[in-house]
Structures are given as C-alpha cells and as structure tokens.
C-alpha cells in the first residue's frame, strides 16, 4: 500500500458527514483487504463482511475515504462509503501531467 494507490476525488453530490469537496479514497475489495488491514488496524473482516462500527457491517467492495487528506497523519479522519453511493456523489480528479 503506497500513496499512489489513493485516488483524489471531488465531491459533487451529498456524502454523509463529508464537508470537504476534496477527498482521497481507495476501493477495498476482497483482493486487497488483507494488505489494507496491515496499514489500517481499524479494518476488520468478519466472514465476508467488513465491520465498520459496533455491530455494523458492509459488503465489499466499499471505499475507504480520507475526508481531510491535507491534515497531518494523526488528525486524519476516514469513512467507509458503499461503492455505488460514493461513485454517484464523487468524481475522479484528473492529475496534471
């Protein structure tokens, strides 16, 4: 897992608790969940479901969204958002090359 795996998005719709228009996100799938668990200890799988809170589960794939990417590492906040909801309300930012 490295910085290149994160993708910049611009929020174009309504995402719960996301106030910033610029976020970074990564899609969590069955293929990369074990790698992400090493870096983010709050990611927990129970069977085939992702535990996202006290007795709250989501089916993969979901996006792990860094809702304040410009903050220092110890002040960053993350949310899990269903793939469909995120893709309807955010668009990928094209990087200038």
Residue 97: the pLDDT is: 47
pLDDT bucket at 74, cuts 50 / 70 / 90: confident
Tell me what percent of the chain is helix, strand and coil, each rounded to the nearest 5.
Answer: 20, 40, 40
The answer to whether residue 30 scores a pLDDT higher than 50 is yes
* Average pLDDT rounded to a whole number, residues 11-36: 89
pLDDT in tens, 53-67: 878 899 999 999 998
**Whole-number average pLDDT of the chain:** 87
- Token digits of residue 69: 């990417």
CB atoms within 10 A of CB 70: 10
* Average pLDDT rounded to a whole number, residues 23-43: 91
Over 16-54, what HEC string results?
Answer: CCCCCCEEEEEEECCCCHHHHHHHCCCCEEECCEEEEEC
Which phi and psi (to 5°) does residue 37 adopt?
Answer: -65, -30
* Average pLDDT rounded to a whole number, residues 68-97: 87
């Amino acid at each position: 897992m490295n910085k290149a795996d994160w993708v910049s998005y611009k929020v174009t719709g309504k995402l719960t608790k996301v106030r910033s228009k610029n976020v970074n996100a990564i899609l969590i799938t069955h293929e990369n969940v074990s790698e992400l668990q090493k870096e983010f200890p709050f990611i927990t799988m129970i069977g085939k479901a992702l535990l996202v809170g006290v007795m709250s589960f989501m089916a993969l794939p979901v996006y792990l969204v860094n809702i304040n990417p410009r903050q220092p590492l110890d002040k960053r906040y993350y949310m899990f958002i269903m793939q469909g909801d995120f893709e309807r309300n955010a668009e990928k930012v094209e990087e200038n090359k």
